[in-house]
Amino acid sequence: MSLRTQGRASGRRVTARALMLGGVVAALALIAAGCGGDDSSSEAAGTTTSGSSSGKPCDASIGVLTVLTGAAGPQGREMLHWAQLAVDQFNEENGTDIKVVEGDDQLDPAQAATVAQEWASNPKIVAVVGPESDGTVDSAGPILGKAGLAMVSSTATSVRLTDGKYPTFYRVIPPDSLQGSQDAEYMIDTLKVKKVFVIDDQSAYSKGIADVVVPKLKDADVDVSTDSVSQNNTDYSALVSKIADDTDVVFLPWMLAANAQLFGDQMAEQGKKAAIFGSDGVFSPQDFHVDGSYLSTFSPDIQSDSKYDDLVKEFEDRYGQFGAFGLTTYPATQVVLEAVKKACDEGSSTPDVDAVAENVKNTNIEESVLGQPIEFESNGEMKDAKFYVYTIKDGKYEIAPS
């Protein structure tokens, strides 16, 4: 067995080859592991937020499961900040002592499952805000669902998430089918496109939207070509070269805004004139600012509505400037908080997971930053949820003309 017992010369040959094969195996294993590399797993302790101690005690924690590190980290941390703000305001108003537990899934389904396992066996955690993406709902959903934990997502948009597989899944935003069809309609009716290049990013989210958009465009006699590209790529120049000069729109239903920015830069480099149309994943004023682009999002523009000045100011004082990806986490967290408090009011100071889930189901919030009441359909979809199309002018996001 031992290579050492062999002759020196042949031993070297064998070990060199074995080593190289070992290297290749290790390399491929690492790719399989999702190119995550780092592994900062969640802490059950998390960030503690405390409020005044008056009112009926309510001693519970809610998990916020999202991506906190990696390329999409900025968006995920913005979500976390909105959740923290909602919790702090709620505690102060109601004298509760509800805590936030952070869970970093690195946008990686495997990592999300690990965090979900941890939370499913943690009796302190009574409900979850998140998960943030379709892929992570698919992996964490069954685990959290089995533990009876309600999940209220503010960003996962796949149609299939509400087909009954995850009975405790709710979301405060519309599904991709709506986004895909609204985007396609906008391109056809308002932009009057003739030729569109659709490039998905190989994620479940991205393919879901592309699958809705492509047939709709084709039905309207638009010349559609498609391709897909890995999120780990750092170079899109080969793909950019493929964009035909008479292309009107390059549709990028991507998860990472920074990648779309690189794509836009490389288009500029090669003198391509087509407009980029991005989905909500690309909607991020910090990371994506290609002039003339269009973006769809489920997040209303609260910064230009004076009604929300106080809220905007409070957020900015604490965390600085924000994009639009995190905002919906604020109402999602409110849904969970109301449900937890109701369970506390009706039962013990340590609420029961099932009671919280039942309360989430019966949510009835009259006013929200979404500009509409929050109530859920029986499958977990929010009633009358909407999408908005934005455009970028001189680096600024504004509502696009319809």
Partner 1 sequence: MDFFVQQLVNGLTLGSLYALLALGYSIVYGVLGLLNFAQGEVYMVGAFIGFGVLSGLGGPTALVMPVPFALLLMFTAAALGSGVLSVTIERVAFKPLRDSSRIAPLITALGVSVFLQNAVLLLLGPDIRNYDASSFIPFTSGIHAGPLNVSLIRIIVIVTTVAVMIALTLWVGRSKLGRSMRAVSYDREAAQMIGVDVDRTIMIAFFVGGVLAGIAGVMAGLVFSRVFQLMGFVAGLKAFTGAVIGGIGSIPGAMLGGMLVGLAESFTAAYISSTFQNVIVFAVLVVMMVVRPTGLLGRPAVSKV
Positions touching partner 1 (CB under 8 A) are 9-10, 12-13, 15-17, 19-24, 26-28, 30-31, 35-40, 68-71, 73-74, 77, 202, 227-230, 232-239, 241-242, 245, 258, 261-262, 265, 268-271, 287
Kindly tell me which of 58 and 112 has the beta carbon lying closer to partner 1.
112
Please count the other Cβ atoms lying within 10 Å of the Cβ belonging to residue 393.
12
Query: From CA 232, how far away is CA 30, in angstroms rounded?
Result: 13
Query: From CA 157, how far away is CA 180, in angstroms rounded?
Result: 10
Amino acid at 125: I
Query: From CA 42, how far away is CA 60, in angstroms rounded?
Result: 18
Kindly tell me which of 244 and 399 has the beta carbon lying closer to partner 1.
244
Query: From CA 70, how far away is CA 104, in angstroms rounded?
Result: 10
Kindly tell me which of 261 and 279 has the beta carbon lying closer to partner 1.
261
CB of 339 to partner 1, least distance (A): 31
Kindly tell me which of 229 and 355 has the beta carbon lying closer to partner 1.
229
Q: Are strands 249-252 and 294-297 parallel, antiparallel or unpaired?
A: unpaired
Kindly tell me which of 9 and 221 has the beta carbon lying closer to partner 1.
9
Residue 52: DSSP 8-state: -
Query: From CA 120, how far away is CA 123, in angstroms rounded?
Result: 8
CB of 251 to partner 1, least distance (A): 15
CB of 261 to partner 1, least distance (A): 8
Kindly tell me which of 245 and 310 has the beta carbon lying closer to partner 1.
245
Task: Give the H or E element holding residue 289.
Answer: none
Kindly tell me which of 106 and 299 has the beta carbon lying closer to partner 1.
106
CB of 197 to partner 1, least distance (A): 12
Token couple for 299: 């997040």
Q: 3-class DSSP state for residue 109?
A: helix
Token couple for 220: 């309207």
Token couple for 386: 């909407």
Kindly tell me which of 234 and 402 has the beta carbon lying closer to partner 1.
234
Kindly tell me which of 27 and 399 has the beta carbon lying closer to partner 1.
27
State phi, psi for 309 to the nearest 5 degrees.
Answer: -55, -45
Kindly tell me which of 51 and 76 has the beta carbon lying closer to partner 1.
76
- CA atoms lying within 13 Å on the CB side of residue 14: 11
Q: At what angle do helices 134-146 and 204-219 cross, to 10 degrees?
A: 120
Residue with tokens 């809705």: 212
CB of 322 to partner 1, least distance (A): 14
Residue 67 near residue 106 (C-beta atoms within 8 A): yes
Q: Which residues of 245-268 are buried (b: 16+ CB within 10 A; e: fewer)?
A: eebbbbbbbbbbbbbbbbbbebbe
Residue with tokens 């070297």: 12
CB of 234 to partner 1, least distance (A): 5
Amino acid at 269: E
CB of 27 to partner 1, least distance (A): 5
CB of 1 to partner 1, least distance (A): 13
CB of 194 to partner 1, least distance (A): 20
CB of 3 to partner 1, least distance (A): 9
Query: From CA 91, how far away is CA 307, in angstroms rounded?
Result: 22
